[in-house]
């Protein structure tokens, strides 16, 4: 594969951040019902899934597609961080592994959501509520790895300013802020209502609406860095072109 073709693929994978956010936003905000109260009885929870069955199932499909884009973007982010990370590159490795866990684990959670919404009218309400609790709470319990990845990448970005392929300083600080916001999900197993319950503003909404902008901002910065690399490659090729044209032709003996 040529360097130009490789850069084109890298730009696409960086842009997968936009595709992930778009697909997930459609699934979560346009179709998917927001988290039900964890204070609901089993019958009320089952009724919630019956009433919103189609929304759950359509949302699962859109979000599952989004996980493929998220994984592709994560690998590309890891490649670009490794270029910045000197020495053993352990920081970039831990960062990308922590990030890659999210789409893998969330894919299993989405499957559980799909099972809960598959036939809630004929499944025992207790089973439906149990599946719902597992899916909602485990989907949020990726926060320690996500916070670690945001913080580590943020520190690495701030530390490597001034390099030709460095990501912007503001992105590093933004990652640190988003990492702190992830701690809002810490109490989800201890409370069933309030701002830090699984459906609360301090847990579900704070984390969701910081994670998405962080991925969008990071993807945008990645695309810009790769665009500069592509422009530099084109400039190098253009500068070499006259030399090739002016080179003397070989003369047959």
Quickly list DSSP for 160-190: TTTSTTPPPHHHHHHHHHHHHHGGGGGGGGT
Residue length of the chain: 253
Measured CA to CA, the distance from residue 95 to residue 148 in angstroms comes to: 7
Distances (CA, A) of 90 to 73, 86, 153, 229: 19, 9, 12, 25
3-state DSSP assignment of residue 18? helix
Cβ neighbors of 140 (< 8 A, separation 6 or more) are: 185, 188, 198, 203, 204, 207
| Nearest to 127, CA basis, from 139, 138, 116 | 116
Element (H, E) at 76: helix 53-84
Cβ neighbors of 168 (< 8 A, separation 6 or more) are: 157, 221
Residue 163's pLDDT is what? 85
CA-based Rg of the chain, rounded to a whole angstrom? 23
Cβ neighbors of 232 (< 8 A, separation 6 or more) are: none
- Per-residue pLDDT at 242 exceeds 70: no
Global confidence as pTM: 0.89
Each domain of the chain, given as residue ranges in start order, spans 3-231
- Per-residue pLDDT at 179 exceeds 90: yes
> With contact defined as beta carbons under 8 Å apart, do 62 and 27 qualify?
yes
Q: Residues 60-82: pLDDT tens digits?
A: 999 999 999 999 999 999 999 99
Residue 175's pLDDT is what? 97
Q: Residues 84-128: pLDDT tens digits?
A: 998 779 999 999 999 999 999 999 999 999 999 999 999 999 999
Query: Where residue 180 falls among pLDDT bands split at 50, 70, 90?
Result: very high
> With contact defined as beta carbons under 8 Å apart, do 154 and 214 qualify?
no
| Nearest to 105, CA basis, from 129, 77, 70 | 70
Query: Where residue 233 falls among pLDDT bands split at 50, 70, 90?
Result: confident
Distance between alpha carbon 152 and the CA centroid of its chain, in Å? 15
Measured CA to CA, the distance from residue 128 to residue 162 in angstroms comes to: 53
Question: For the residues 189-213, what does the mean pLDDT come to?
Answer: 94
Residue 253's pLDDT is what? 42
Measured CA to CA, the distance from residue 142 to residue 122 in angstroms comes to: 31
- Mean pLDDT score of the chain: 92
């Amino acid at each position: 594969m040529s360097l130009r073709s490789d850069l084109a693929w890298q730009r696409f994978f960086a842009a997968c951040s936009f595709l992930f956010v778009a697909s997930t936003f459609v699934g979560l905000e346009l179709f998917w019902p927001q988290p039900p109260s964890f204070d609901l009885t089993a019958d009320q929870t089952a009724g919630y899934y019956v009433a919103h069955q189609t929304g759950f199932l359509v949302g699962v499909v859109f979000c599952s597609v989004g996980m493929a884009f998220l994984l592709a973007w994560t690998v590309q982010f890891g490649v670009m961080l490794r270029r910045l990370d000197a020495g053993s590159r352990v920081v970039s490795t831990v960062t990308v592994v922590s990030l890659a866990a999210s789409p893998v684990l969330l894919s299993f959670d989405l499957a559980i959501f799909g099972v809960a919404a598959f036939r809630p009218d004929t499944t025992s309400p207790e089973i439906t509520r149990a599946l719902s609790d597992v899916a909602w709470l485990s989907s949020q319990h990726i926060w320690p790895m996500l916070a670690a990845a945001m913080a580590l990448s943020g520190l690495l970005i701030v530390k490597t300013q001034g390099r030709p392929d460095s990501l912007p300083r503001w992105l590093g600080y933004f990652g640190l802020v988003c990492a702190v916001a992830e701690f809002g999900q810490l109490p989800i197993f201890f409370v069933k209502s309030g701002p830090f319950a699984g459906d609360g503003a301090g847990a579900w909404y704070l984390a969701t609406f910081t994670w998405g902008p962080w991925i969008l901002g990071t993807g945008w910065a990645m695309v810009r860095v790769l665009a500069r690399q592509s422009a530099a490659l084109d400039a190098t090729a253009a500068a070499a072109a006259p030399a090739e044209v002016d080179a003397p032709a070989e003369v047959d003996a």
